[in-house]
Amino acid sequence: MDQQPGLPWPLNRNPDLINLIASISGEPTRIVTEKLLQEEQCLGWNVRTELHAKKLTPHIWSEDLAQFYATTNAFLYETSVWNRRPLKQEIRTWICDYLTISFPQPLKILAFGDGLGFDSLQWSRTKHEVTYFEVSTDCIAFAQQVFRNNAAEINMIQSVAELEPDSFDVIICLDVLEHVPEPNSLLTDFTNWLKTDGLLITHSPFFLVHSNYSTHLKSNQKYSGCMKLYTSLGLQPVRSRLFWDPIVLKNTRDPSLRSKIPWSTRLGGALLAQGRGINGKIHAFFAQLKSQGAAHWVDDLKQLLEQEEAGSFDLPPT
C-alpha cells in the first residue's frame, strides 16, 4: 500500500508499522501482521487474548493487571490501530483546533498516558512544548522511534516524580481514566500539576465495559457522565463534544465555584449517565460502530499475508 496521507509515520504504511512492532516485540513479521489483522477486524483482540492467556479477570483491578500494563506488547497493536481510526483522528483534530483558536501562543502541555506518542507528536507539530509520560515499556520504545523519525522534540519523563506543581497550562489525558482503580486520585494529581485556570482535556469512556475492552474497569462505570467527579475537585467544564470525546475542564481549584456549564455538555453527561450498569451494553454497541476503521487496512494486511504464503513476503526496512 502507498502511504496514507494525513497519518504520521509509521501509521501511514503497514510495512513500516509491522517492522517497528517486530523490532520492539521480537516477534516475527508474519506474527505481527496476523496480530495487526486481528486487531483491525476487532479492536481490543490482542489485549483480550493475552489477558485470558495470563488468567487475569477482565474489568477487575489487581496488581497483576498493573504489571500487565507495564510489560505486555498487546497495546502496541491496539493503540496503533486505534490511532488510525477516524474517531480518534476526529478527537485529536478537535483538540488541536480548540487550542489553536483559544490560545494562539505556545502552551506547556503534559500528554499523560500517551501510549505510542501520536498525540504528543500532534501537539508538538502545532508548536507547543510537550512532555510525554507512559508506563508501558514497549509503548515508550515505540514512541521514541515515532518522535525520532518524525523529527519531534518532546520531553519524555520516566516517573511522575519528575512533575512539579503548577507546571502545565494543559494536561491531555485520553483513554486512561477508565483503566485506573482510583480516577479521583489521578485527577487530584492533575489539579496539582496544572496551573490555576489551566485546562484538563480528557476522553474517558467509563461506560465501555465490554469484552473487547477488557482492561476497562467495571468499578469505574459509575462515573459515566458524572460531572461531580470533576467539579468536586474544582475542575469546571468549559467545553466538550456531545459525548465528552473529549471534555475540557478548567482548574479553578475551588470546588464551591459553580460556573455556567454549556448546555451541550450537560446533555452529553445525561446521555452518558444512561450507560451505567446494564444500559452500558447499548452505549458500547454504538461506541463500536463509531470506532470502526477503514476496510483498506484489512485488505492490505491480507495481501501481505498472501504474499508471504506465495513466498514473496519481504518487508522493506524502515
Fold assignment, 86-289: Rossmann fold (3.40.50)
pLDDT at 84 over 70: yes
Average pLDDT for 195-215: 96
Q: Evaluate whether 118 touches 150 at the Cβ level (below 8 Å).
A: no
Q: Evaluate whether 173 touches 201 at the Cβ level (below 8 Å).
A: yes
Q: Evaluate whether 166 touches 189 at the Cβ level (below 8 Å).
A: no
Name the DSSP class of 178.
G
Tens of pLDDT, residue by residue over 242-265, are 999 999 999 999 998 878 899 999
What are 132's three cell numbers? Answer: 510525554
Phi/psi at 289 (nearest 5 deg)? -65, -40
State the residue for C-alpha cell 500532534.
122
pLDDT at 312 over 70: no
Contacting residues for 30 by C-beta, under 8 A, at least 6 apart? 305, 308, 313
pLDDT band for position 318 (cuts 50, 70, 90)? very low
Tens of pLDDT, residue by residue over 276-310, are 988 788 888 888 888 899 999 999 999 999 998 88
The pLDDT of residue 163: 97
For residue 168, give the H/E element and its range. Answer: strand 168-174
Q: Where are the domains of the chain?
A: 14-83+291-309, 86-289
